[in-house]
Amino acid sequence: MNGDGAVAGPTAERDGGVAHGPGAEDRTGVPAVEMHGISKRFGDVVAVDEVDLEIGDGEFFALLGPSGCGKTTTLRMIAGLDIPSEGRLAIFGEEVASWPPDRRPVNTVFQAYALFPHMTVAQNIAFGLQMRGIRGAEADRQVAEATALVRLEGMEQRRPSQLSGGQQQRVALARALVNHPKVLLLDEPLGALDLKLRQEMQTELKALQREVGITFIFVTHDQEEALAMSDRVGVMSEGRLLQVGTPAQVYEHPANRFVADFIGRTNLLEGVVESSTTLRLHAGAVVAAETDLAAGTPAALSVRPEQVRLHGRGETPQGAPCLDGVIGDATYLGHAFVYTVSIGGSGDGATTITVRAETGSAALAVGEPVSASWLPATTTVVAD
């Protein structure tokens, strides 16, 4: 054990204070998309349940959730491909809930792209222009511009089937952006790409959004993608919108158990709220934790793996909440260690804490007794 007791721990506060403000570049003041009490039912199935949402002009917004959570249906309602069963939907102040898709100033990049197989790349891109009566030299100019924007020059006469997945994705983007939509909807646009290409396209999409300045609404089930790309994230589950906030807000202060668990990895330490500042964990300890929940409510403390520090037994800093345990498993990841700490206690109290520690500190051996501690400010009390 090191003299100061801290054998491993996060190096610095990973503060999310530099988050992009929501709708930071609100240019008109009118939200790009406004939803009030939007619901969609298919027969008995409630796909989207009373969603209220405002998305600012120029924002890169991610709708995040597991498959079947209603995120795609929400997007389709904005596009006009599904009509809401209930609620109000406005795009730049105009009530569009019952408008057909061809009247809405939005375009979609579909999952799997839905490129027209019987048309060339250029014809695909020109389709929207043609439908709006833009033809001839003006159409050619705009198609060339969009082709250049997504760097597809030289591919104009190819068919979609002759393109790679990444190229098809660019065609889909160009086909939508050539129309200068007020809002661009993207339905899992990176889902069909392999990992490396996906990461490239993440960067590219972000740059593209800055370049064109259009509001992007992006549907994904990949939380890393959502955090990495968007200004704000809306987390959905079972048709409900659970939390909307910047990636940092959502990650650091999840609104409930689902969000805490879905976004990133976390330790959920079960317990009962004791007061507005304390939580009694089943593992035994009473720990400091701010909460609005009423005393007696079953809740869990969400502690991120990288916020946990491991110390020798009895060497925890004064006042910091801590739990004693034993290293149950250690995994070396190159840039970090991941430890699983078995917390003692019997029955309900037995649990494990996952700890992520930077490499560079001494490795801990399996079976070593440790104390796990954290700063109360880095944790969140979550209920169902």
Residue 80 C-beta: closest distance to another protein, Å = 8
243 is a contact residue toward another protein (CB under 8 A): no
Stretch that binds another protein, among 109-117, 146-154, 204-212, 284-292 (CB under 8 A): 109-117
And the tokens for 384?
Answer: 């169902």
Residue 317 C-beta: closest distance to another protein, Å = 57
Cα–Cα distance measured from residue 117 to residue 372, given in angstroms and rounded to the nearest whole number: 58
Q: Which of 132, 141, 151, 265 binds another protein (CB under 8 A)?
A: 132
Query: Please, which residues have CB within 8 angstroms of residue 309's CB and are 6 or more apart in sequence?
Result: 6, 8, 9, 10, 372, 373, 374
Stretch that binds another protein, among 19-27, 108-116, 229-237, 334-342 (CB under 8 A): 108-116
Residue 108 C-beta: closest distance to another protein, Å = 5
Cα–Cα distance measured from residue 184 to residue 174, given in angstroms and rounded to the nearest whole number: 11
Residue 162 C-beta: closest distance to another protein, Å = 5
339 is a contact residue toward another protein (CB under 8 A): no
Q: Which is nearer to another protein, 11 or 98 (CB)?
A: 98
Q: Which is nearer to another protein, 102 or 153 (CB)?
A: 102
Q: Do β-strands 86-91 and 322-332 pair in parallel, antiparallel, or remain unpaired? A: unpaired
Q: Which of 58, 80, 264, 305 binds another protein (CB under 8 A)?
A: 80
The answer to whether residues 50 and 76 touch, using CB atoms and an 8 Å cutoff, is: no
Give the count of beta carbons closer than 10 Å to the beta carbon of residue 220. 22
Residue 205 C-beta: closest distance to another protein, Å = 19
Q: Which is nearer to another protein, 118 or 335 (CB)?
A: 118
Q: Which is nearer to another protein, 129 or 382 (CB)?
A: 129
Q: Could you give phi then psi for residue 348, rounded to 5 degrees? A: -55, -30
And the tokens for 217?
Answer: 């609404």
**Which residue bears the tokens 């619901």?**
39
Cα–Cα distance measured from residue 323 to residue 315, given in angstroms and rounded to the nearest whole number: 12
Distances (CA, A) of 354 to 62, 75, 254, 310: 28, 36, 18, 11
101 is a contact residue toward another protein (CB under 8 A): yes
Strand partners, 64: 220, 235
Q: Where are the alpha helices (DSSP H) in 230-287?
A: 247-252, 257-262
**Which residue bears the tokens 């988050």?**
19
67 is a contact residue toward another protein (CB under 8 A): no
196 is a contact residue toward another protein (CB under 8 A): no
Q: For residues 143-182, which are near another protein according to CB under 8 A? A: 159, 161-162, 175-176, 179
Q: Where are the alpha helices (DSSP H) in 42-120?
A: 71-79
Q: Which is nearer to another protein, 177 or 263 (CB)?
A: 177
74 is a contact residue toward another protein (CB under 8 A): no
Residue 96 C-beta: closest distance to another protein, Å = 13
And the tokens for 143?
Answer: 């198609």
Amino acid at 188: E
Q: Which of 102, 153, 292, 384 binds another protein (CB under 8 A)?
A: 102
286 is a contact residue toward another protein (CB under 8 A): no
Residue 111 C-beta: closest distance to another protein, Å = 8
Give the count of beta carbons closer than 10 Å to the beta carbon of residue 235. 26
100 is a contact residue toward another protein (CB under 8 A): yes
Residues near another protein, by CB under 8 A: 79-81, 100-102, 106-108, 110, 112, 114-118, 127-128, 131-132, 159, 161-162, 175-176, 179
